[in-house]
Amino acid sequence: MKEAVAILCAGGPAPGINTVISSVTKIFNKNGFNVLGLNGGYKSLFSEEPSFEFLDFEYADQIYSRGGSALKMSRYKPKDDEFKVDFFKKNNVKLLVTIGGDDTASTANRLGKFLAKEKMDVKSIHVPKTIDNDLPLPEGTPTFGYHSAKEEGVRLSTTIYEDARTSGNWFVVSAMGREAGHLAFGIGTACHYPMIVIPEMFNKTKMTFDKITRMVVSSMVKR
């Protein structure tokens, strides 16, 4: 059986996923590997019957510029006792390419240690995908998802800013990010918003809805 490369997407969708899947497929197909695309992320990988498909050049060309993810995704985060080698043995997988954020990366790291302990020669490559931009990458290391989200956020927020200026109304724009304020800060500074509230401002105090409300009202009064 030919050696195989498996591609897994986890977490939430972000622009650029299909470009990565397409590029990985073409490179490893060209070098004689089977390329397996897993549907359902880690949840499928460790199920009784993992859902996957063989990817080829034609498939890669079709999805290259498509939005979303051609491979179904899942936010499921398996525990160590759920790991098993069945899929890797049965399909002669020698490399697992994971596309995702911090949870996906940490799970791939734990899985790699498990496979090594089981004497399985399976390498791992993680492609950082994060709209929140919350992966602890080396200085200047790019990711995808964040920049596209910021560009779209700036486009929408600029329109909102003009609406506010023209009508005399106030708007509060909310951006995703969980504990990271990179996206909100990037959008706010690009649009010259008078106030930007991010989680990092509350690292020494508890963040409450009342505090945020008071900050917003204060900004309105001062303007």
* Average pLDDT for runs of 10 along the chain of length 223: 94 88 96 96 94 95 90 93 94 96 92 94 92 80 82 94 91 89 94 90 85 86 76
Please indicate whether residue 210 is annotated as part of the active site.
no
Residue linked to tokens 């490399």? 95
Which residue, of 130, 160, 178, is where some domain finishes? Answer: 130
Phi and psi at 107, nearest 5°, equal -65, -40
Residue 130 to residue 68: CA distance in whole angstroms: 14
- Do 116 and 40 belong together in one domain? yes
Say how many domains are in the chain.
2
Domain residues for the domain of 177 are 147-222
- Do 151 and 126 belong together in one domain? no
Do the domain assignments include residue 136? no
pLDDT of 72 reads: 95
List the one residue out of 202, 200, 186, 8 whose CA is nearest residue 101. 8
Report residue 221 as tokens. Answer: 């009064």
Of the residues 132, 134, 163, 210, only one is catalytic, namely 132
Q: What is the pTM of this model?
A: 0.79
Residue 223 to residue 213: CA distance in whole angstroms: 16
Report residue 21 as tokens. Answer: 């899947």
